[in-house]
Amino acid sequence: MMNKQALISIITPVYNIDQFLNETIQSVVNQTYINWELFLIDDNSNDKSRSIIKSWASKDKRIKPIYLDENVGAGRARNYGLDQVKGEYLAFLDSDDVWVKDKLTKQVNFLINHPKVSFSFTWYTTINEHGIPLKLFLTPSKIGRPLLKFNNYILTSSIMCKTSVVKNIRFPRMRRRQDWAYFLDVLKKTKYAYSLPESTVLYRKTKGSLSANRWKLIRPNYDFFRETIYSSNRILAVIHFLFFLPFYFHNKLFNSKNLKN
């Protein structure tokens, strides 16, 4: 049975995303689970994102804006939210992604029904800039640090954790792959992350986004292996990276299904 008294803290970093931000926020407001607080951290946007945030905050007291005076990147922006959260549970939502309406309800129930689980995530569906579904990604049911070191199977917008377990963990200063490093740090405390085997997130991939271009992620992936996993040991990082690449470009690291438009 769902604990309706449990507060869920949601953190969303925002930077120049006015095209999709309203839809993202609306997907939180539309949740069947209503006891949440949403921290929208504006990372010094110069488009209409800040005015969109102000408009929503004026209409819903659960929406709590934080405005940064300099651009610090998504990871560090999330840390400002982490300093403010009060919920029993913690979730992240990127500013161009969309939650299905019962995402929070199902994931809270999953954690309540599995009291030993502190770190959960879900399947997800990629969509294009027009919201058309592209592919369903089915994640491993259980992930520990050895598996996560090989590849990041966890989508940031899909996770929910017990705040008491992760409250002192912060995102690193790196601009890219900082979520991957964060998850590895969380797994030092929780040992495993467990999947709710349902798609609860629409993960948007636009033509110009970094995640949509695998070539642009080659260097960030290598830097991640070298700096985070192998403590600047270049030889081990290169070996890991060369083994990783063939699977990466053939999309064999994930179990996925193409969807008909």
Token pair of 75 as six digits: 């990871």
Digit-coded pLDDT (tens) for 117-164: 999 999 999 999 999 999 999 999 999 998 998 888 999 999 999 999
Digit-coded pLDDT (tens) for 16-59: 999 999 999 999 999 999 999 999 999 999 999 999 999 999 99
DSSP letter string over the chain? ---TT--EEEEEEESS-HHHHHHHHHHHHT-S---EEEEEEE-S-SSSHHHHHHHHHHH-TTEEEEE-SS---HHHHHHHHHTT---SEEEE--TT-EE-TTHHHHHHHHHHHSTT--EEEEEEEEE-TT--EEEEEE--SEEEHHHHHH-----GGG-EEEHHHHTT----S-SSSHHHHHHHHHHHHHSEEEEEEEEEEEEE--TTSGGG-TGGGHHHHHHHIIIIISTT-HHHHHHHHHHHHHHHHTTTTSEEEE---
Of 44-48, 159-163, 206-210, 217-221, give the lowest mean pLDDT range: 206-210
pLDDT at 173: 83
pLDDT at 229: 76
Digit-coded pLDDT (tens) for 163-173: 999 989 999 88
Q: Hey, what CATH topology would domain 8-208 get? A: Spore Coat Polysaccharide Biosynthesis Protein SpsA; Chain A (3.90.550)
